[in-house]
Structure 1
Amino acid sequence: MPNVRQGLGDRVLGGWLGRIAGNMLGKPVEQGEVWTRERIDGYLRRADALPLTDYLPEPPTDEIAAALRPEWRACVRGRVHGSCRDDDVDYAILGLHLLETHGFAFTTEQVGEVWLSCLPYLQTFTAERAAYRNLVSGLKPPLTATYDNPYQEWIGALIRADVFGWTSPGAPRRAAALARRDAVLSHTGNGVYGAMWAAALIAAAFTAAGPRAAVEEALVVIPASSRLARTVRRTVCLHDAGLPWQETLATVERETAGLGWIHTVPNAAVITAGLLYGDGDFTRTLALTVRGGLDTDSSGATAGSVAGVLCGAAAIPACWTEPLEDRVRSAVLGFDGARVTDLAARTVALAGS
């Protein structure tokens, strides 16, 4: 494994905190067909919260409150006391448990066994729920991903990838290979490539000079002709051409029309734009990614993970970390109420193994 810059523990903790904070920021507006970029910014303007530098403000009207996800009451400024339970955090915890239980030579079948043992069925969604149902019915991978599963290229596998990046610092190809073994339980095509790309992106962030370099390194691990790779490259090109953030996302939105707000490809564009236009600033990266719309809590979580690794926990502004109170809610068996610092320490131990 390549040499990693000093402060591995701080940067892994930064990844965990960034994932949780980004998830919490995006959770209230997680419904892409309702909460468009324009509507999210309208909410922020009404609340006098642009530029966005903290968790979402209290909704300024009852009408706005009624359109938010019901979890908003525990996710907006002044109401955050530890993290809300969410699958974007559950899968990071479940991945940690998988590696602690089976090591880095785990099989896809063992991923399924861990799900059945530790993850409640009703806390799975879309492709993960289809795969879970297929496991219970006795199917084996890769049939668990393909049988009666219309969600094979949605974002679920991407949100499961972080732990493979955190435990492969500076080794994006290794991270991608681990993420692929996990992803094929429930996904195919761009759904699998999204997990490989996200894991590589996080692994690269430990040694990359900045977000642009990490994005470039992550592209190497997925097929260059895939729609995911082409869309990420397109986002990079528009950024390099000097287009404003809004115009970049509007352009990519037109070019990915019809894929849906939970599909991997358009969400990867939102994450890429957040990282590039955020330019290494943790708060700006989270804010732009969530303001980008679509699957806001998932894309916010992944961008937060990358940004947190890039800067380290000590450099994350306290407004994001102190309300988390160093604890998580989780549906994963045995982990509800876990300390974030403990999860990070266990991840570091794996990274050094």
Structure 2
Amino acid sequence: MKTSLWSSLLLGISIICSSSMLIAQKNEKIKLTKSELQDKIKGGWAGQTIGVTFGGPTEFRYRGTFIQDYENISWYDGYIKSTMVHNPHLYDDIYMDLTFVEVYDRVGMHAPVDSFANAFANASYSLWHANQAARYNILTGIKAPESGHWKNNPHADDIDYQIEADFAGLMSPGMPNTASEISDKIGHIMNYGDGWYGGVYIGAMYTLAFVSKDINYIVTEALKTIPAESEFYKCIADVIQWHKEHPDNWKRNWFEIQQKWAEEVGCPEGVHMPYNIDAKVNAAYVVLGLLYGAGDFTKTLEISTRAGQDSDCNPASAAGILGTMYGYSNIPKYWKMGLAEAEDLDFKYTKTSLNRVYAMSFNHAVQMIKLNGGKINKNDVEIKVQQPVAVRYEKAFDGVYPVRKVGLNRQLKGSYEFEIEGTGFVIVGSAKKKEKSMKDFDIPLDIYIDGKKHASFIHPTNYLTRKDEVFWVYDLPKGKHKVRLQQTEEKEGYWVDLNNYIIYSDEPNHGIEQHAH
């Protein structure tokens, strides 16, 4: 399509949606028929499912690079059902969503944070990154919100809540601040700072997609929920600005994101590696798809997927927002191929199908509208649209910089000692057992720093309750420190693999390390 035609299309959309924009800004009430509300909620869940299915085969296969145009990404009739049946773990972002939806359905709109934390901590599905660290914390007595705090969770800035926040937006139509309140409670179970902001921002975009069909407005207005001093805000604001400067070249924008924002600080798997599961970078790819897709489903899915990294969750977020904006009935038939035959299938680890969550989310949205000053009439709902307000400022890994990664690749036998120079470290490793059939064992460990016992903890061999990092600390006095890891009980056939450790300091590495000859 020629540039002039795209410009005309965007201008038309802007004119059509100007009334919705004014309503949102004036904090007035709007009316949606109940069928319109239901259609938008269905569109959000369907879009998310379509997006994660489409991007699934590319997930983290493209790290620090985008997917070239000549690489075909499949889509065909029956693909969704086949994936749900044969690769159900792909839908972790959805069954995590559904865990929280089911708590609301069971406990009510005022369910306490422990209900949500315990539901996902004790669920039978596997977790990773911030979610898994939070699960371990909760099961060992560190409750929310401390379970997501960066000093207790080295993955605090990761994407986890960002990919799970769809439900908060879908149950808060036109009410971004209500979605933020939900995200404050649930998002801090597993994230903090930019990791939390990712969920706040995605949730806000969903809420605004109920009241506007202007993508630029949705992307920009939702950013008002994020503190301007945060790196998350600055990153997304950059993407919006670069889109204005390079409106026809998403790859140029991608390169700008890579150049300025791609350095990983927290996630031990991504530090000193091209792997990036940071919330703000992947949110940037969601926004990339939305802005350059300009309302077109195919372009939006293609770009948010081809940007790489978490390239199933990013198109899921983008398509979910687009599906909410247009409604289920207006999602192109091509993208709904085979969807109907999958809508009665329960997502693995849940008792909820798409058809069931369509109804549950509608019910929750109706209750939220009423709780927030709206009205429920016989055939329509009146929503008191909220003007977005920034949530509080918080920053993970403040003044903390990774300076060196040291490979170990060894088994812990009794004890292991090493020295660092800096302000902290993370030891990456996992508990193992010789045979899968063996009973699980919680391997007890002590950590000593400068000759004094610093902490005692367990390292489970059970994969569901595992600890992916042996130990971490970020606030030691700057200088040299001796570290000793001590196994306090040994059992034949059980051990801890030590993979590497990362050294942190209070100032960044300048990139050149001097070695004595």
**Which bracket does the TM-score occupy, shorter chain normalised?**
0.7 to 0.9
> Which residue, 331, 337, 351 being the options, matches 2:348?
331
2:394 maps to which residue?
Answer: none
Bigger CA radius of gyration: 2
Alpha carbons 1:170, 1:204 under 8 Å: kept: yes
Give the letter for the 2:76 counterpart.
Answer: R
Measure, in 2, the Cα distance between the counterparts of 1:295 and 1:272: 14
Q: Relative to total residues, which structure has the larger strand share, 1 or 2?
A: 2
Could you tell me which residue of structure 1 aligns to residue 30 of structure 2?
3
Aligned to 2:332: 317
- The corresponding residue for 2:143 is 140
Please name the residue that 1:194 is paired with. 198
Q: Tell me, which stretches of 5 or more residues in structure 2 are unaligned? A: 1-27, 265-274, 368-517
Alignment of 1:27-38 (within 5 A): 27-34=56-63, 36-38=65-67
Instruction: Tell me, in whole angstroms, the C-alpha distance in 2 between the residues paired with 1:211 and 1:33.
Output: 27
Check the 8 A contact 1:4/1:170 in 2, yes or no: no
TM-score, structure 2 as length reference? 0.59
Asked if the contact 2:98–2:350 (Cα under 8 Å) also holds between the matched residues in 1, the reply is no
Q: Are the aligned partners of 1:5 and 1:207 in contact in 2 as well (CA < 8 Å)?
A: no
Give per-residue Cα distances to partners, 1:78-119, cap 9 Å, x unaligned. Answer: 5515252221111221121121123232332221122145x2
Distance 1:271 1:4, change over 3 A: farther
Q: Residues 4 and 31 (structure 1 numbering): CA distance in 2 closer, same or farther, change over 3 Å?
A: farther
Contact preservation (8 Å) 2:41, 2:327: yes
Cross-structure match for 1:224:
228
CA distance in 2, matches of 1:214, 1:163: 17
Q: What is the SS of the residue equivalent to 1:280?
A: coil
- Of stretches 157-166 and 1-10 in structure 1, the one that deviates more from structure 2 is 1-10
Partner residue, 1:303? 318
CA RMSD of aligned residues (A): 1.9
Q: CA deviation at 1:144?
A: 1.3
Quick check: 2:262–2:276 contact (8 Å CA) kept in 1? no
Q: Which residue in 2 is equivalent to 1:346?
A: 360
Q: Distance in 1 between matches of 2:66 and 2:344?
A: 30
Change (3 A) 1:219 1:328: farther
Secondary structure of residue in 2 paired with 1:149: coil
Counterparts in 2 of 1:104-123, with a 5 A limit? 104-117=109-122, 119-120=123-124, 122-123=125-126
Q: Structure 1: 5+ residue runs without aligned partners?
A: 45-55, 58-75
Matches within 5 A, 1:1-353: 2-6=29-33, 7-34=36-63, 36-39=65-68, 41-44=69-72, 56-57=73-74, 76-78=75-77, 80-82=79-81, 83-84=83-84, 85=88, 86-117=91-122, 119-120=123-124, 122-146=125-149, 148-243=152-247, 244-259=249-264, 260-324=275-339, 325=341, 326-335=343-352, 338=353, 340-353=354-367
Q: Secondary structure at the residue paired with 1:3?
A: strand
One-letter amino acid of the structure 1 residue matched with residue 348 of structure 2:
A
Instruction: Give a deviation string over 1:311-331, Cα, whole Å, max 9, x none.
Output: 111111222223232244523
State the one-letter code of the partner of 1:256. Answer: W
Count matched residues: 318
Q: Distance in 2 between matches of 1:81 and 1:302?
A: 17
Q: Residue 332 of structure 1 aligns to which amino acid in structure 2?
A: Y
Higher helix share: 1
1:50 aligned partner: none
Distance 1:142 1:92, change over 3 A: closer
Q: TM-score scaled to structure 1, two decimals? A: 0.85
Aligned partners of 1:94 and 1:332 also within 8 Å: no
Deviations 1:210-248 (A, max 9, x none): 111111221111111111111111111111123411111
* Larger RCO (alpha carbons 8 Å, 6+ apart): 1
Moved more, 276-285 or 225-234: 276-285
Question: Match of 2:366, as an amino acid?
Answer: G
Q: Distance in 1 between matches of 2:217 and 2:242?
A: 16
Amino acid at match of 2:254: L
